[in-house]
Amino acid sequence: MESLVTWITTHAIALVVGIVVLILVYRYAKPFTHRFVVALLRAQQATLDGGGAPADELRKRGDSEIADAMLSTIEGPEATI
């Protein structure tokens, strides 16, 4: 137990910096991912005959795709079966 406390006190700054970085990545990853998915959906729709789906529909699909990906990541692969 004492060695664990020593290790934590020795690496406290790196642990705090790592936690802050993870929080920032978590905070800003969703908007970037959403823009990326919507851009991919728009590019895909642009290649379709007839123009594809409206912009609101693409945003909804983007939200749905992100939610599905996050749930499968959190719950694991057996949750999608």
pTM, rounded to two decimals: 0.46
Name the one residue in this structure whose structure tokens are 């795709």: 65
51-77 pLDDT, tens per residue?
A: 666 777 777 777 676 666 665 665 555
User: What are the residue ranges spanned by the domains of the chain?
Assistant: 2-80
Find where tokens 């990326």 sit: 36
Residue 3 has pLDDT above 80, yes or no: yes
Q: What pLDDT digit, counting tens, does each position of 23-41 carry? A: 888 788 777 777 787 788 7
Amino acid at 52: G
Q: Which is nearest to 81 in space by CA: 2, 5, 71?
A: 71
Count of C-beta atoms within a 10 Å radius of residue 59:
16
SS (H, E, C) 6-50: HHHHHCHHHHHHHHHHHHHHHHHHHHHHHHHHHHHHHHHHHCCCC
Distance in angstroms (rounded) separating the CA atoms of residues 33 and 78: 24
